[in-house]
């Protein structure tokens, strides 16, 4: 392969650096079949945009809480002719709304994250209010863990905290379903119907990322307005 032919291709060291992984992890993912075979020039393996798109999708799925085994099954289900743009679209749909990846913690690790000692009852309350989830033999601390920790010190019955957590989860899941359907039908479906370039895929990803931020802000503002409306109605009775 000439220098011109290999332009734009990366060595495995460069590929790993581009997606923020170690070379060892990148090689391991390749052995699991999470990457297409590399382009070889003699003994050197080169990787292109499609390999990077696969790795970025794998990272997005793991940040969303997928186990490596689940990631393997998902990647195996992708069409063999999936393009960089197709993978970018998959990544858009599966990128976690949480700014931090899920991390499994043992009890001590959960206490360190919470910044205090936690009894079994405390952990049960944190689970009830939706700030901690059990995962395997450990726990996953959700982004709102600090809120749950503060609730532990309030003089509020545990059953009431659990009921409030259930109500929030129930309505938020319904809202998330509605908003996801709007995203699919209003933005992603038209995108799929038209020819698109890698640049178009990048713009779509930036658009959806910003849309997530604005949606979260709108949800908070919408709840505040709804709560104020409830107070107004109760005062008018």
What are 119-141's pLDDT values in tens digits? Answer: 999 999 999 888 898 887 889 88
**pTM for the whole structure:** 0.62
Distance CA 15, CA 56 (A): 11
**Which residue's entry shows tokens 């197709």?**
86
Distance CA 234, CA 231 (A): 5
Domain 12-94 architecture: Orthogonal Bundle (1.10)
What value, to the nearest 5°, has the Cα angle with vertex 111 and ends 150 and 102?
Answer: 90
Q: Give which of 8, 63, 7, 16 is closest to 35, Cα–Cα.
A: 16
- Secondary structure element (H or E) that encloses residue 158, with its range: helix 158-183
First to last CA, the chain: 81
For residue 51, what are the contacts with CB-CB under 8 A and spacing of at least 6? 10, 15, 35, 36, 38
155 has a pLDDT exceeding 80: yes
Residue 188, helix vs strand vs coil: helix
Distance CA 144, CA 127 (A): 11
Distance CA 135, CA 43 (A): 42
Distance CA 85, CA 50 (A): 9
Is 97-194 the same fold as 12-94?
Answer: yes
Q: Which of 50-59, 161-170, 190-199 has the highest mean pLDDT?
A: 50-59
* Phi, psi angles (nearest 5°) of residue 42: 65, -125
CATH fit for domain 97-194, picks 2.60.40, 3.40.630, 1.10.8, 1.10.1660: 1.10.1660
- Summarize pLDDT for 203-234 with one digit per residue, the tens: 887 888 888 888 889 988 998 998 899 888 88
DSSP secondary structure, 78-109, as one string: S-TT--HHHHHHHHHHH--SSSS---EE-HHH
Domain ranges across the chain: 12-94, 97-194, 197-237
């Amino acid at each position: 392969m000439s220098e011109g032919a290999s332009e734009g291709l990366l060595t495995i060291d460069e590929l790993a650096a581009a997606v923020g992984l170690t070379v060892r992890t990148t090689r391991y993912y390749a052995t699991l079949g999470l990457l297409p075979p590399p382009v070889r020039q003699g003994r050197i393996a080169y990787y292109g945009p499609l390999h990077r798109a696969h790795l970025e999708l794998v990272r997005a799925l793991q940040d969303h809480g997928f186990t490596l085994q689940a990631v393997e099954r998902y990647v195996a289900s992708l069409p063999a002719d999936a393009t960089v743009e197709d993978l970018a679209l998959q990544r858009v749909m599966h990128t976690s709304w949480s700014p931090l990846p899920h991390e499994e913690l043992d009890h001590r690790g959960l206490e360190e994250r919470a910044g205090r000692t936690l009894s079994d009852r405390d952990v049960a309350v944190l689970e009830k209010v939706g700030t901690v989830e059990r995962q395997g033999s450990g726990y996953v601390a959700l982004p709102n863990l600090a809120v749950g920790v503060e609730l532990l010190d309030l003089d509020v019955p545990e059953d009431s905290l659990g009921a409030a957590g259930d109500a929030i989860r129930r309505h938020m899941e319904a809202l998330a379903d509605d908003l996801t359907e709007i995203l699919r039908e209003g933005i992603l479906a038209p995108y799929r119907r038209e020819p698109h370039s890698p640049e178009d895929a990048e713009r779509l990803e930036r658009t959806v990322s910003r849309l997530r931020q604005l949606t979260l802000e709108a949800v908070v503002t919408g709840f505040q307005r709804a709560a104020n409306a409830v107070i107004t109605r109760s005062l008018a009775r």
